[in-house]
Chain A
Amino acid sequence: MMPKDKVETSNRMKPINKMTLIFPAKSSNESLARVVAASFVSQLDPTVEELADVRTAVSEAVTNAIIHGYENHTGNIEMFCTLYVDSVEITIIDEGKGIEDIDLARQPLYTSKPEMERSGMGFTVMETFMDEINVESEVGKGTKITMLKQFKSVK
């Protein structure tokens, strides 16, 4: 028999629900993506604040894919959500131009488009509002952002 805490850990790692959303890189779909993510996550009954964190982070990731990944060209964005007992993993994938220097892009206040009046806070917001964030990118291929949010209110 496994020790009790190990059983708990393995249960926590077990996905309880999954969802995929694919949509064209149009700015009007930014609200769609964050509303879908939030309503999917609300199955766990997190706090209003935790839900708002997820909404904001998804909005930033999708906005990045639209204005930097596709630079307002057409293409699809895929959002995968996996729900665990007390957390969610959200992956946002674009097949856009990719990020040359990920470390530079993640710097607070860095923006490759100052003329657009972007604040350069996108990645910083994702890092602050989510618990873990992982960025994989290949120039010319696209970018994959994986974010994990732990819901401390959910027991």
Chain B
Amino acid sequence: MCIEIYNIYISIPQKLSENELYNNDRRMMTLQIKFSNKGNILIIKLNGELDHHASDYVRRKIDNEMIKPTSKNIIFDLSNLSFMDSSGIGIIMGRYKTVTKINGKAMIACSNAQIVKLLEMSGIQKIIPIFDNVDKAVKKALEVAEYDA
């Protein structure tokens, strides 16, 4: 009984403070992030506006997810992103470096003309293929994964 109470006391405040931190971030932020898995592909779906303000939060969330063994290849699904600036390029490049270290592949799904323009301007499309929707990116990633296996 005593041990239980002790355990609860220790674990809950820690969790709360962590949650509070993220919640505070989110309150001022117009960005949501969702993760899903298909085989060894991690799909990162971003919603809203990706700028420098959101970048720390996004980086922390993605890196937490990428340390999982199921995340060998990654797809950035930017279809629902209404705005992105060069901070987003920094984030994508950073994650690209991480997956290439474990021989994984990175892909981008994006149909927003302005974001595609930014990605092309940065030269990122030379190393990370861009698809106009996430299904095409997943299909390609699955092909690559099969080929590797």
Segment of A12-20, A119-127, A144-152 in the binding face: A119-127
Over the window 73-111 of chain B, the binary record of Cβ atoms lying under 8 Å from chain A Cβ atoms (1 yes, 0 no) is 000000000010111011101100000000000000000
Contacts of B29 in A (CB 8 A): 28
Contact across chains for B51 and A121 when beta carbons are under 8 A apart: no
Over the window 41-85 of chain B, the binary record of Cβ atoms lying under 8 Å from chain A Cβ atoms (1 yes, 0 no) is 000000001011101000100000000000000000000000101
Interface size on B, residues (CB 8 A): 23
Segment of A3-11, A51-59, A91-99, A133-141 in the binding face: A51-59
Contact across chains for B113 and A125 when beta carbons are under 8 A apart: no
* A125-B85 contact given A49-B113, A119-B93, CB 8 Å threshold: yes
C-alpha gap A67/B49 in the complex (Å): 18
A selection of 13 A-B contacts at a CB cut-off of 8 Å is A30-B51, A30-B53, A59-B85, A63-B86, A63-B87, A67-B52, A117-B94, A119-B87, A119-B89, A121-B86, A124-B122, A125-B118, A128-B121
C-alpha gap A108/B83 in the complex (Å): 21
C-alpha gap A124/B123 in the complex (Å): 12
Contact across chains for A119 and B59 when beta carbons are under 8 A apart: no
C-alpha gap A55/B85 in the complex (Å): 9
Contacts of A59 in B (CB 8 A): 51-52, 83, 85
C-alpha gap A119/B52 in the complex (Å): 11
Contacts of A119 in B (CB 8 A): 86-87, 89-90, 93, 122
Number of A-B residue pairs at CB separation under 8 A: 67
Q: B-contacting residues of A (Cβ < 8 Å)?
A: 27-28, 30-31, 34, 49, 52-53, 55-56, 59-60, 63, 66-67, 116-122, 124-125, 128
Interface of A is mostly: helix
CB contact between B91 and one of A31, A55, A117 (< 8 Å): that residue: A117
Contact across chains for B53 and A31 when beta carbons are under 8 A apart: yes
CB contact between A63 and one of B52, B83, B94, B118 (< 8 Å): that residue: B52
Contact across chains for A118 and B121 when beta carbons are under 8 A apart: no
Q: A-contacting residues of B (Cβ < 8 Å)?
A: 28-30, 49, 51-53, 55, 59, 83, 85-87, 89-91, 93-94, 113-114, 118, 121-122
New A-B pairs, 18, CB < 8 Å, besides A121-B122, A124-B121: A30-B52, A30-B53, A31-B30, A31-B49, A31-B51, A34-B83, A59-B85, A60-B85, A63-B51, A63-B86, A63-B87, A116-B90, A117-B93, A117-B94, A118-B86, A121-B89, A125-B118, A125-B121
Shortest Cβ distance from B112 into A: residue: A52
Contacts of B122 in A (CB 8 A): 119, 121, 124
CB distance from A138 to the nearest CB of B (A): 24
C-alpha gap A63/B118 in the complex (Å): 16
